[in-house]
Amino acid sequence: MWEKLRDDFYQNFIADDRWKYITDGLQNTLIITFFAVLIGIVLGFLVAIIRSTYENTGKLKVLNAICSLYLAVIRGTPVVVQLLIMYFVIFSTTNPGQVFTAVLAFGINSGAYVAEIFRSGISAIEKGQFEAGRSLGFNYFQTMWFIIMPQAFKNVIPTLANEFIVLLKETSVAGYIGLQDLTKGGDIIKSRTYSAFMPLVAVAIIYLIMVTVFSYLVKLLERRLHKSEH
């Protein structure tokens, strides 16, 4: 049994440097996740501001309608379909690169969920905070920027961190456009050795380790924020 496991390990990871499929795929997965999160935060922040402004003042009606349509479409369709549309339809005549396409697709998808996270954080702030800002001579946007958003951002940081974890796992479908992410790396090894157990289990273990580490960091962050409130 041990000899078979040793032979399988050698064939799947050592022979022909097949372990590089895993490491290269992991690198792409982390790059896509990191930059997609950045896009999601920026896009989600803007959408949340527009929707909150419309709800509180009735202004930005056209932009709010566009944002509502964006949220409905993105949240109502699978991320893998969005990825395929981005690669085979939107960028069918140009080739910006698979990584860039994946970053953009996952970033736009994440932005829809981040927008609702930010909006819920803004809604949780007492209405009296707006009145306090006005009493200090701030206009609506100054009140939102200097008073409301710092409090809202602090409240939603743990949820944003969890969104990072969710996005990390969602990137496993990037292989649909031929991109060698972590999951695709394990699949390539499987196609070379005709052995599915060891490469796929290795991929699962790596995802589990990353999610466990990031989840632990989120808990530490939540404790730190909880202590700061006291």
Per the CB < 8 A criterion, the answer to whether 171 and 102 are in contact is yes
> pLDDT digits over 57-77, tens only?
888 899 999 999 999 999 999
Tell me the whole-structure pTM to 2 decimals: 0.87
Q: Is the pLDDT of residue 210 over 80?
A: yes
Q: Would you say residue 93 has pLDDT above 90?
A: no
Judge: domain 18-229, CATH 1.10.3720.10: yes
Name the CA radius of gyration of the chain, rounded: 22
CA distance 181 to 23: 9
Tokens of 214: 């990031």
Supply the pLDDT for residue 46.
Answer: 92
- Cβ atoms < 10 Å from Cβ of 23: 13
Q: DSSP assignment, residue 92?
A: S
